[in-house]
A and B are shown apart, each in its own frame.
Chain A
Amino acid sequence: MPRIKSPAELEAFRKEILAQRDPEKPCITLCSGSACHATGSGKVAAALEQEIEKQGVAADVTYRRTGCHGFCEQGPIVVIYPQGICYLKVQPDDMAEIISVTIKEQKIIERLLYVDVNTGEKATTEEEIPFYKNQERLVLGANRKIDPKSLEDYLAVEGYQALVKALFEMTPEQVVGEVKNAKLRGRGGAGFPSGVKWDFARNAPGEQKYVVVNCDEGDPGAYMDRSVMEGNPFAVLEGLMIGAYAIGANEGYIYVRQEYPLAVANLAIAIKKAEESGLLGQNILGSGFDFTVKVHRGAGAFICGEETSLLNSLEGKPGEPNARPPFPATRGLWGKPTNINNVETWANIPLIINKGADFFSAIGTEGSKGTKIFSLVGKVNNTGLVEVPMGVSMRDIIFKIGGGVPGNKTFKAVQTGGPSGGCLPENLLDIKVDFDELTQAGAMMGSGGMIVMDEDTCLVDIARYFLAFLSDESCGKCTPCREGIRQMKKILTNITKGLGQAGDIELLQELAEATKGSSMCALGKTAPNPVLSTINHFRDEYEAHIKEKRCPALSCKELIAYIIDPQKCKGCGACFRKCPAAAIAGGKKRIHVVEQEKCTRCGGCLEACPAAFGAVRKISGEPVPEAIPEDARLIG
Chain B
Amino acid sequence: MKQAAHKNKGKDDAMDIGKIDQIIDNHQGEASSLIQILLDIQNENNWLPKEALNRVSEKLAVPMSRIQHITTFYKHFSLSPKGKHEIHVCVGTACHVRGAERILAVVEEVTGVKPGETDPELNFSVETVSCLGCCALGPVMVVDGEIHGNVAQSETADILTELKRAETAEFLNKLEHAETAEVLNICACQ
**Interface, chain A (partner B; CB < 8 A):** 34-35, 37-39, 72-73, 89, 117, 217-223, 226-227, 258-260, 296-302, 313-320, 375, 377-379, 381, 383-384, 406-407, 415, 418, 449, 451, 453, 457, 462, 465-466, 469, 473, 475, 580, 600, 602-604, 607-608
Contact = CB atoms under 8 A, between A and B. Distances in A.
Contact of A406 (B32, B131, B149, B157): B157
A259 B39 CA distance: 12
Pick the most buried of B95, B109, B134, B136: most chain A CB atoms within 10 A of its CB: B136
B105 to A, nearest CB: 6
B94 A219 contact: no
Given A318-B69, A600-B105, A607-B162, A381 B32 contact: no
Contacts of A473: 130
Contacts of B154: 117, 381, 406-407
B51 to A, nearest CB: 20
Nearest to A375: B135
Nearest to A73: B136
Those 7 A-B pairs whose CB atoms lie nearest each other, nearest first = A220-B92, A223-B133, A72-B136, A300-B75, A299-B74, A38-B147, A221-B93
A4 B105 CA distance: 56
Nearest to B33: A316
Interface in B54-94: 69-70, 73-77, 91-94
Contacts of A39: 137, 149, 151
Interface stretch (B96-104, B117-125, B171-179, B180-188): B96-104
Given A318-B70, A406-B155, A297 B131 contact: no
Given A73-B136, A407-B158, A299 B76 contact: yes
A67 B2 CA distance: 40
Interface residues of B, number: 51
B135 A221 contact: yes
Interface of B: 31-36, 38-39, 69-70, 73-77, 91-98, 102, 105-106, 109, 129-138, 140, 147-149, 151, 153-155, 157-158, 161-162, 165, 169
A220 B93 contact: yes
Given A117-B155, A299-B74, A607-B161, 11 more contacts: A38-B134, A38-B137, A220-B130, A221-B94, A259-B132, A299-B70, A316-B35, A316-B36, A318-B69, A407-B155, A466-B93
A488 to B, nearest CB: 18
Given A300-B76, A319-B74, A453-B97, A73 B131 contact: no
A173 B162 CA distance: 59
A140 to B, nearest CB: 14
A217 B32 contact: no
A383 B133 contact: no
A217 B153 CA distance: 26
